[in-house]
A and B are shown apart, each in its own frame.
Chain A
Amino acid sequence: MAESIFFTLATIIVLASLMVVFSDNPIHSVLFLFVVLFAMAGLYVLLNAPFLAAVQVLIYAGAITVLILFVVMLTSPYIPSVKLLESKQSDAALLVVVVFFGALSQILRTSSWFDPGLKTAPKVVKTAKIGEILFKEYVLPFELASVVLLAALIGAVYMVSGVKWR
């Protein structure tokens, strides 16, 4: 059961992420990214992380995709002439990616993580436990993350507003 769900989701993720990269129309790319993020949320549920699945759907699939969609509509009209494979870099990029993937899979095969005897956690992690750990052990990083978010927000607003800093 779990295997068939995993393989369905994995196929969806790989095909949709290929479409994100290879689609000519930027709007289609964003919509396929939405599919990837949603299927990833399904995998998080399989990995006993329902809270992160919910966060993924709410923040990534909900907010970030819509934000990117707005920017795509504001900046790039559909230009069919921008063909991907005519890019001068694509051969070199393909080489880099193939070498990188080969190195990654080599590391994977020789590591102890490849052992099929590894077992998953017996039960689902409760959301209350995540909150407990987050606010007991990781309070300082949590506050720092909020400062980073605030700084990014102010920076984004300042950059787009066009106000000169004097």
Chain B
Amino acid sequence: MIPLSYYLVLAALVFCIGLFGALVRKNAVLVLLSLELMLNAIVLNLIAFSNFATPVTIKGQIFSLFVMVIAASEIGLGLAIVLFLYRKRATIEMDKFTELKG
């Protein structure tokens, strides 16, 4: 069988790729996409731990279901904010939103 550490390393890699995307991309939708990558890495971690650590009570699987619910509402709200910003400012480049700089 595949050891747990393989899954953890894969999830860490995907999380780091998503983190890089979230830090670097300018397009707001692509930042949300990178967030989705990170959330998926976390869900993979949870399911791997559920399989190896709590195979009877499957706590990790239940928790990852809740993570999916929160991720769905997060992406819905995030896309609504992106559409709202696009209507107000006609751009979704993150560098252009600098009002909070003071």
Contacts and interface: CB of A to CB of B under 8 A. Distances in A.
Q: Do A and B bind each other?
A: yes
Interface of A: 2-3, 6, 10, 13-14, 17-18, 20-21, 26, 29-30, 33, 36-37, 40, 43-44, 46-49, 51-52, 55-56, 59-60, 63-64, 67-68, 71-72, 74-76, 82, 84, 87, 89-90, 92-94, 96-97, 100-101, 104-105, 108, 113-116, 118-122, 125, 129-130, 133-134, 138, 141, 145, 148-149, 151-153, 155-157, 159-160, 162
Interface string B42-80: 011001101110010110011011101111111111011
A46 B72 contact: no
B13 to A, nearest CB: 6
A64 B16 contact: no
Contacts of B66: 141, 145
Contacts of B64: 52
Interface residues of B, number: 68
Please report whether the interface of chain B is mostly helix, strand, loop or mixed according to DSSP.
helix
Nearest to A40: B40
13 contacts: A29-B30, A48-B51, A49-B51, A52-B64, A56-B68, A64-B72, A71-B83, A87-B24, A89-B23, A133-B57, A133-B58, A153-B73, A160-B80
B8 A101 contact: no
Contact of A152 (B52, B73, B86): B73
A125 B32 CA distance: 32
